[in-house]
C-alpha cells in the first residue's frame, strides 16, 4: 500500500486543534502570551488584553494604546454576545467651521494633529478585564512590559512593512526616536528592538490602571506633548471619556447567526453583503467561480454605498438599523444586480487605512472574545510622544466634511470606524466561530468571503482564512484577485464589465479564526498566512 506523508493544504499551514483553550493573533509572540495567560488560570478576556498589549510592542505601526478597540464577548449560557465600543471622540474645541472655513479643507487630513481623536483602547481593555478577567491587571500587562524593555526579535512581515513606512517615520522627530535604530533605519528581520519609553508607560498603566491614562500623571505628559504639537484635544476630552458596553447587531444567514459590532463600525456592511448574496442564492454556484465572485462583488458595491451614505456615530444616524437588516432591504438590493453586467457608477468612498490587528481567544469554560485594536493608518497620525512611546491614531480621518452628512465632523463625536470583530453562533446561541479579518475597507468583504468559506463550503478555519480572496476598491471600481484564481476567471469577469487589476500591492487583509467543535467541546484555530500570525492551543 502506498502512503503519502505530510500532505498539506496549499497555504502550507494546517489548522490547530486543542481541548483546553485557543488563541490566534497576527504575531507568534503575542499568541504565546495569550496561551500563557490561559495556562496560568486566566480566561479569554485576560488572554486578549495581554495579546493586545503585546501587539503594541511587536507590531507598533498597526496598534497600540494610542488607538481604539472593539470587542465581542461570548459568555457561556447567554444568548446574545456582549459588545464593547472602545472608540474615542473628536476634540470638543475643534469645530467644523474651523476645518472647512478657516482651513478650507474638503476632506479630513490623514496625518498631523487634526485627525487625532481620544484613544479608547486602554479604557476598553480595563472594562473587559474588570468585568470578566481572572488574573491581576499587572500580571496580564507584564509580558508586554518585559518585551518592550528587554526587546524582541522583529518578525519577517513586520520588518518588511516597517521598512516601507520609513518615509512617514522620518517626518516626525518623536517617531524617529521611537521607531528607528539610532534615528537612521528601521529594524531588520531578527534584530532585537527595544521600546523603553513604552515599557515605562505600560508600567504606570499596570500599577494605576486606565485612571493614569485618562486622568492621572500620564495624561499630564500626553497633554504636554499634544499641545506642543498644536492639538485641539484637552484634558477634559480624556477625563470624560469611557468605553461603552453596547448591543451587537446580527442577522440569520444560511441558518447561522452572524454577530457584528454595530455603528459607528462597519460591521453592518458585512451583514448587508451576505444578506444580498443569500437572496441571490449564491450557494448554487461553485466556490470562486465567475458567477459566485460577480455576485459578491456587486453586493459589496451596494453595501458600501449604504455605508458611506449612512453609517456614523449612532446618535447621528438617520435610518434605523432594523430597516438595513430587513428582508425587504436585501431583496431590493438583490434586484438591482444584473447577473451579466457589473455596475459602472459607484458612490465615492472615504479613504480608509489598512493597519489593524485582529486577535481572538477562547478558554476551557467556553468563553470567547473577538477583539480588534487599531491605530487606523500605519503609525496613525504620524505623531509619536517620545517620552511615553505612544503613537496617536488618526481615526478622525474617518469623518466626512460634507455638510449634512450623518458622518459629518462635529466636536465630541465618534467617527465612522473600520474595525469589526465578528462571531457566528447557532440558532440555539451555541458558539460556532470567533473570527475577524483586518485591513481597512477589506474587512467587510474579507469577512463575507470567510463566512461563506466556513458556512457554505465547510472549510476548516485554516483553509477558510487562507483561501484566495478578491478585493474591490470603491473609489476606482476596480477588482484585484489573489492567485490561484485563474486567468479564465479574470477574463470572464472582464467580459461582464469588471475592471480587473494586478494584485501586486493590493491589501487582502489578514485574519484569525477559532472554531468551537460542538461534538467534543474542543477548539480548531487558523491564522492568516498573509501575516506573521499564528494560532496556538493547549
pLDDT for 348 beyond 80: no
Question: Which sign, positive or negative, has the C-alpha torsion 346, 509, 169, 53?
Answer: positive
Mean of the pLDDT values across residues 459-464? Answer: 97
What pLDDT, on the 0 to 100 scale, is given for residue 325?
92
pLDDT in tens, 491-536: 999 999 999 999 888 889 999 999 999 889 999 999 999 999 999 9
Cα separation, 87 vs 94, in Å, equals: 18
Cα separation, 232 vs 98, in Å, equals: 11
Cα separation, 438 vs 511, in Å, equals: 6
pLDDT for 313 beyond 60: yes
Mean of the pLDDT values across residues 201-205? Answer: 98
pLDDT for 220 beyond 50: yes
> What value, to the nearest 5°, has the Cα angle with vertex 281 and ends 279 and 286?
150
Query: Higher pLDDT residue, 43 or 10?
Result: 43
**Can you spell out the DSSP letters for 322-367?**
HHHTSHHHHHHHHHT-BTTB-------------EEEEEEEE-TTS-
CB 47 within 8 A of CB 363: yes
Cα separation, 321 vs 349, in Å, equals: 21
pLDDT in tens, 68-106: 999 999 999 999 999 999 999 999 999 999 999 999 999
CB 259 within 8 A of CB 422: yes
Known catalytic residue: 246? no
Mean of the pLDDT values across residues 383-399? Answer: 97
Confidence of residue 23 (pLDDT cuts 50, 70, 90): very high
Cα separation, 77 vs 96, in Å, equals: 46
pLDDT in tens, 413-441: 999 998 899 999 999 999 999 999 988 88
pLDDT above 70 as % of the chain:
96
Cα separation, 383 vs 228, in Å, equals: 11
Sort strands 499-501 and 478-481 into parallel, antiparallel or unpaired.
Answer: parallel
pLDDT for 113 beyond 70: yes
CB 153 within 8 A of CB 190: yes
Domains of the chain with bracketed CATH: 16-153+192-245+353-398 (no CATH), 154-191 (no CATH), 264-352+439-528 (1.10.246.130)
Which residue of the set 270, 356, 360, 418 is catalytic? 356
Phi and psi for 141 in degrees, rounded to 5? -90, -15
Cα separation, 81 vs 75, in Å, equals: 7
pLDDT for 8 beyond 50: no
Amino acid at each position: 500500500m502506498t502512503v503519502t506523508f505530510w500532505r498539506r493544504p496549499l497555504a502550507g499551514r494546517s489548522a490547530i486543534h486543542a481541548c483546553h483553550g485557543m488563541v490566534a493573533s497576527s504575531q507568534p509572540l503575542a499568541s504565546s502570551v495569550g496561551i500563557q495567560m490561559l495556562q496560568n488560570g486566566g480566561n479569554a478576556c485576560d488572554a486578549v488584553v495581554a495579546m493586545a498589549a503585546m501587539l503594541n510592542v511587536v507590531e507598533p505601526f498597526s496598534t497600540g494604546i494610542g488607538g481604539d478597540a472593539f470587542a465581542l464577548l461570548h459568555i457561556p449560557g447567554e444568548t446574545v454576545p456582549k459588545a464593547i465600543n472602545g472608540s474615542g471622540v473628536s476634540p470638543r474645541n475643534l469645530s467644523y467651521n474651523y476645518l472647512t472655513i478657516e482651513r478650507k479643507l474638503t476632506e479630513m487630513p490623514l496625518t498631523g494633529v487634526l485627525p487625532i481623536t481620544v484613544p479608547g483602547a486602554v479604557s476598553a481593555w480595563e472594562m473587559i478585564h474588570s468585568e470578566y478577567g481572572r488574573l491581576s491587571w499587572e500580571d496580564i500587562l507584564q509580558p508586554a512590559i518585559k518585551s518592550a524593555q528587554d526587546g524582541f526579535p522583529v518578525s519577517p512581515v513586520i520588518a518588511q512593512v516597517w521598512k516601507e513606512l520609513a518615509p512617514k517615520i522620518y517626518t516626525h522627530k518623536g517617531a524617529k526616536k521611537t521607531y528607528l535604530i539610532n534615528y537612521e533605519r528601521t529594524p531588520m528581520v531578527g534584530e532585537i528592538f527595544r521600546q523603553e519609553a513604552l515599557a515605562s508607560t505600560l508600567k504606570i498603566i499596570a500599577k494605576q490602571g486606565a485612571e493614569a491614562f485618562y486622568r492621572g500623571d500620564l495624561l499630564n505628559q500626553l497633554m504636554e506633548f499634544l499641545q506642543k504639537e498644536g492639538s485641539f484635544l484637552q484634558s477634559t476630552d480624556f477625563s470624560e471619556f469611557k468605553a461603552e458596553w453596547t448591543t451587537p447587531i446580527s442577522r440569520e444567514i444560511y441558518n447561522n447567526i452572524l454577530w457584528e459590532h454595530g455603528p459607528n463600525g462597519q460591521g453592518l456592511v458585512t451583514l448587508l453583503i451576505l444578506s444580498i448574496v443569500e437572496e441571490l442564492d449564491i450557494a448554487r454556484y461553485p466556490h470562486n467561480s465567475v458567477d459566485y465572485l460577480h455576485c459578491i462583488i456587486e453586493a459589496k458595491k451596494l453595501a458600501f454605498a449604504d455605508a458611506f451614505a449612512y453609517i456614523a456615530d449612532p446618535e447621528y444616524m438617520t435610518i434605523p438599523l432594523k430597516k438595513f437588516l430587513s428582508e425587504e432591504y436585501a431583496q431590493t438590493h438583490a434586484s438591482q444586480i444584473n447577473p451579466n453586467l457589473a455596475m459602472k457608477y459607484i458612490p465615492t468612498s472615504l479613504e480608509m487605512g489598512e493597519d489593524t490587528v485582529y486577535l481572538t481567544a477562547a478558554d476551557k469554560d467556553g468563553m470567547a472574545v473577538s477583539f480588534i485594536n487599531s491605530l487606523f493608518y500605519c503609525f496613525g497620525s504620524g505623531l509619536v510622544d517620545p517620552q511615553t512611546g505612544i503613537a496617536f491614531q488618526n481615526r478622525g480621518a474617518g469623518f466626512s466634511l460634507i455638510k449634512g452628512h450623518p458622518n459629518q465632523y462635529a466636536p465630541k463625536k465618534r467617527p465612522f470606524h473600520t474595525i469589526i470583530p465578528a462571531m457566528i453562533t447557532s440558532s440555539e446561541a451555541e458558539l460556532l466561530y470567533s473570527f475577524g479579518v483586518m485591513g481597512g475597507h477589506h474587512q467587510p468583504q474579507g469577512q463575507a468571503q470567510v463566512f461563506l468559506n466556513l458556512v457554505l463550503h465547510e472549510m476548516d478555519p485554516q483553509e477558510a482564512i487562507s483561501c484566495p480572496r478578491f478585493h474591490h476598491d470603491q473609489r476606482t471600481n476596480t477588482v484585484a484577485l489573489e492567485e490561484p484564481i485563474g486567468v479564465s476567471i479574470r477574463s470572464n469577469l472582464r467580459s461582464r464589465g469588471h475592471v480587473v487589476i494586478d494584485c501586486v500591492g493590493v491589501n487582502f487583509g489578514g485574519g484569525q479564526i477559532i472554531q468551537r467543535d460542538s461534538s467534543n467541546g474542543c477548539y480548531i484555530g487558523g491564522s492568516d498566512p498573509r501575516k506573521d500570525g499564528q494560532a496556538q492551543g493547549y
